[in-house]
A and B are shown apart, each in its own frame.
Chain A
Amino acid sequence: MPIRFASKPGLVAYLTAGDPDLSTTREIALSAIDAGADVIELGVPFSDPLADGPVIQRASERAVAGGTRLVDVLELAAELRVARPSAGLVIFSYYNPVLRFGIEKFCETAEKAGVDGVLVTDMIVEEADDYLVHLRRHHLAPIFLAAPTSPDERLKKIAEVSEGFVYAISRTGITGAQKNLTADAGQLVRRLRSYTNLPIAVGFGVSTAEHVAAVGEFADAAVVGSALVAIIEKSTSEEAPSSIARFIRGLRESPSLAGAAALAR
């Protein structure tokens, strides 16, 4: 199932798989899809998530402590694929768990599970030759990150090898909610546009309806991660799916309505 964004801006929802446990992640993912998320990024928890801020780091620690492994995340993906055939499914990981599992075995299992794409946050295009061979053999879209600090020649390479969408990092820094999106994001997306017709999703710091609306002005989709993980952290397992659904619906409302809804809560 190719990754596609039904309405503009599209919405990519990141969840750390296994936080607080795998069956709750499953329920949360289903309700996120039903509330309007086009793509679910299933985060593979890792002990040393150096690109992530404290919110996702804590979620990763909880999931690792709970024993969540890559193989469990792939099983979860397979269940989601059966339950929601048209949703986009992306595995988001650091490289070491994938390398340890075995890149070929990982791609084979992911393809069987019905995964659409793979994003490895510490995999850069120069190191990716072997990785790309395995992903392409199993029809998995390689999704790469583009950063505001990436010069044009790197953006060109990133655009050339990406499939599904290109993930534009909104600013220099680690994952985590912020008040205002910087001007970096718009500039980066404009520069990327000259190299690709793929959808461009903007992430890192996108956490409110205002942000999503702003991203919609210049990009195809918004990635929301830490804001969701923070809600899950504060909710009980029973509450989390409905809290996430409410939040995601709120992200698609007009900013003024979303503000009122937030006040009402």
Chain B
Amino acid sequence: MSTTTLPTQTVNIPGRFGAYGGRYVPETLMAALEELELAYAVAQADPAFHLELDSLLRDYAGRPTPLYFATRLTEELGGARIYLKREDLLHTGAHKINNCIGQGLLARRMGKKRIIAETGAGQHGVATATVCALFGMECVVYMGEEDMRRQELNVYRMRLLGAEVRGVNSGSRTLKDAINEAMRDWVTNVRTTHYLLGSVLGAHPYPTMVRDFHRVISKEMRGQILEKEGRLPNAVIACVGGGSNAIGAFYEFLGDENVRLIGVEAGGRGTTLGAHAVRFNGGGSPGVLQGTFSYVLQDEAGQIALTHSVSAGLDYASVGPEHAALHDSGRAEYVSASDADALDATVRLARTEGIIPALESAHAIAECLRVAPTLGRHEILVVNLSGRGDKDIGILSRELKLQGA
């Protein structure tokens, strides 16, 4: 369905993943992106930066997170052995804190005292507010008003942590619109402000930098599964909104061709444009949104489509450019789970394992429920449980009541 031709300039441009990525931003931001790229490169080469990062990830955030063997779920499904990577046990309740600590340290090195961020489900906003409190920085978080309504608890948590939450009432009043407002703030206050972007999105160096801060997930996962099972998993499953937890869970396995990498997008409530957030497999097509070239949900005239998911964190019209490259090369597979699938998966995990997943992570669990019974008992599935479901209790109580659960 795509009529878009890819740019021919796919080599030798920093920040490209195959044809995807790059920098498509107002000129005002270029100096800041170049400053960030340089600061990141210097930090990467500085052992002191890694020491501090590792120490905060360990003592403050709670790394390494466990790799838990889900005994009852495995028995019930009667197929593959299922492990859960427990990113939900991290401080603030999701993987997001990995990236926020990393970027917070970088912002401090750059001498920026004001931090802005966008948030969908609120997990990135809470993690940003947390890190700003930890480092004594001013924090402004942009959030769509629809998401503020859906994620009231996280709005309160951010405010309690000292952040200012600014509601955005344009467009679909969700994540995409929050990113637009954050970028407008950044364009205006670029000299004093660091934009702490929350996923593997946006202009270079964000997709690379945010991925690097989440690589720790698959690095740990790899060591832990080798220790427990003596071999690599047959598949790793993760949900994909912007794609930060998924790229973190996939990255260290990219070279292991026998490990299937499965990303799960939000199938929402149907296949018509506006009812889902499925960017791959016919849903979207290559385009430029918010600084990067990737798959985008758009209409024939190139206007960005509205999206829907029961989970605010997956409700986004584009996807990280590295996922676009992994999709095109076939190295990773992308599937989708509907709102109903995710709600069912939430109940199933809660009742078999005593773990309430975030609605985002429940999409990955839904795919696990589908795949595990088709595999042999000797095969191994690892699901990245990117966050916990406390924030979603309000939605769950409303939605599940309707289903008579």
Chain A interfacial positions (CB closer than 8 Å to B): 46-51, 53, 57, 61, 64, 69-70, 94-104, 121-124, 126-127, 129-131, 144-151, 154, 158, 169, 172-174
- Cα(A46)–Cα(B24), bound, Å: 15
A96-B296, A100-B298, A102-B3 known; A149 and B304 CB under 8 Å? no
Interface residues of B in 21-50 (CB under 8 A from A): 22-32
Size band of the interface chain B makes with A: 35 or more
Chain B window 168-182, contacts with chain A (Cβ cutoff 8 Å), 1 for yes, 0 for no: 001100001001100
A173, B187: Cβ atoms closer than 8 Å: yes
Chain B residues closer than 8 Å to A124, beta-carbon distance: 23-25, 27, 30
B303, A97: Cβ atoms closer than 8 Å: yes
A172, B303: Cβ atoms closer than 8 Å: no
B287, A172: Cβ atoms closer than 8 Å: no
Q: Is B189's CB within 8 Å of the partner chain A?
A: yes
* Interface pairs A-B: 8 shortest CB-CB: A100-B302, A97-B302, A147-B28, A69-B301, A173-B188, A149-B31, A47-B303, A51-B26
Nearest CB of B to A204, in Å: 9
Question: Which of A99, A144, A174 counts the most B-chain CB atoms under 10 A from its CB?
Answer: A99
Q: Which residue of B lies closest to A45 (CB)?
A: B303
- Cα(A79)–Cα(B176), bound, Å: 35
- Cα(A154)–Cα(B288), bound, Å: 22
A121, B9: Cβ atoms closer than 8 Å: no
Chain B residues closer than 8 Å to A151, beta-carbon distance: 31
Q: Which residue of A lies closest to B301 (CB)?
A: A69
Chain B interfacial positions (CB closer than 8 Å to A): 3-5, 7-9, 13, 22-32, 170-171, 176, 179-180, 183-184, 187-191, 286-291, 296, 298, 300-304
30 interchain pairs, CB-CB under 8 A: A46-B303, A47-B304, A48-B171, A48-B176, A50-B180, A50-B184, A51-B184, A70-B301, A96-B304, A97-B302, A97-B303, A100-B4, A100-B300, A100-B301, A101-B302, A122-B25, A122-B26, A122-B291, A124-B25, A130-B8, A149-B28, A149-B30, A149-B191, A154-B30, A154-B31, A169-B28, A172-B188, A172-B191, A173-B187, A174-B187
- Cα(A146)–Cα(B184), bound, Å: 17
Chain A residues closer than 8 Å to B3, beta-carbon distance: 100, 102
Nearest CB of A to B46, in Å: 24
Q: Which of A57, A100, A147 contacts B287 (CB 8 A)?
A: A100
- Cα(A221)–Cα(B301), bound, Å: 32
A172-B187, A172-B188 known; A144 and B27 CB under 8 Å? yes
Nearest CB of B to A18, in Å: 11
Nearest CB of A to B193, in Å: 10
A51-B187, A96-B288 known; A126 and B301 CB under 8 Å? no
Chain A residues closer than 8 Å to B287, beta-carbon distance: 96, 99-100
- Cα(A131)–Cα(B288), bound, Å: 14
Instruction: Supply 4 further A-B pairs (C-beta < 8 A) apart from A46-B302, A121-B26.
Output: A51-B187, A99-B4, A147-B27, A147-B30
Chain A residues closer than 8 Å to B23, beta-carbon distance: 124, 126-127
A122-B288, A124-B23, A174-B188 known; A102 and B5 CB under 8 Å? yes
Chain B residues closer than 8 Å to A64, beta-carbon distance: 303
B31, A127: Cβ atoms closer than 8 Å: no
Chain B residues closer than 8 Å to A154, beta-carbon distance: 27, 30-31
A145, B300: Cβ atoms closer than 8 Å: no
